[in-house]
Amino acid sequence: MNEELLAKMVERLGFEVKRSYERVKKGRVSAATVEGLVRGHLWHFGAQVTASLWEALDRRLVAGRTLQDRRTRTVVTLFGPVDVSRSRCRDGTYPLDEAPGLLGQHAWTAGVQEAVSLLSCECGFETAGDPLERLLGVVIRAPSVQVVAQEAGRRARQWGASGPPAAGKTFNRLP
């Protein structure tokens, strides 16, 4: 991400917040909807920034490697689905797919994996998807909840057997 793009994103967020402020002053937004309005702005901004930062990370990860092409993948983040353009190396690997610890064909981030795992412990596999969708806007159904939670359990067993993760690694990241 270049600084010009970042400045435009921040400017756009500021514009949206100011526009919302004007709507509130004029009585066009009820008190009950203010929080949802702000959350929507922040989610949109968070999704844009996440994609831009990952694309910058991708350029760093593939520096000096021979590239085949660039492809777009939808990644499920705590901000909802985000389209990320990433490099495919000549050997067929996608370094960016490995870096944030993505899981499954739906590319759930470590943050989503953690939320799914925690909620499935509290609610069970069948019902964890509803609060995830309502609270985070992340749509994930029972079979996928089970896959994510079981993978987290597998990693926890590995972690228990081998000690805590090395500095810079988190429990949520895939090995």
Model confidence at 104: pLDDT above 70: no
- Predicted local confidence at residue 175, as pLDDT: 37
Model confidence at 4: pLDDT above 50: yes
19-61 pLDDT, tens digit per residue, is: 999 999 999 988 889 988 898 899 999 999 999 999 999 999 9
Q: What is the largest CA-CA distance in the chain?
A: 60
At residue 75's C-alpha, the angle toward residues 108 and 172, to 5°, is 30
Q: Which residue has the tokens 């000096």?
A: 64
Task: Give residue 68's region: left, alpha or beta (phi > 0; psi -120 to 50).
Answer: alpha
What's the predicted TM-score (pTM) here? 0.75
Q: Which residues pair with 73 in a beta bridge?
A: 84
The rounded percent of the chain whose pLDDT value lies above 90 is 32
Query: In angstroms, how far is CA 152 from the centroid of its own chain?
Result: 17
pLDDT band at residue 163, thresholds of 50, 70 and 90?
A: low
Find all residues with CB under 8 Å of 25, minimum gap 6, and list them: none
In contact, 144 and 107? CB cutoff 8 Å: no
121-145 pLDDT, tens digit per residue, is: 888 888 888 988 888 888 888 888 8
Three state DSSP letters for 51-108: HHHHHHHHHHHCCCCCEEEEEEEEEEECCEEEEEEEEEECCCCCHHHHCCCCECCCCE
Model confidence at 172: pLDDT above 50: no
- Predicted local confidence at residue 1, as pLDDT: 54
How far is residue 2's CA from residue 98's CA, in Å, rounded to a whole number? 23
Model confidence at 18: pLDDT above 50: yes
Structure tokens at 7: 């400045």
Task: Give residue 14's region: left, alpha or beta (phi > 0; psi -120 to 50).
Answer: alpha
- Predicted local confidence at residue 133, as pLDDT: 87
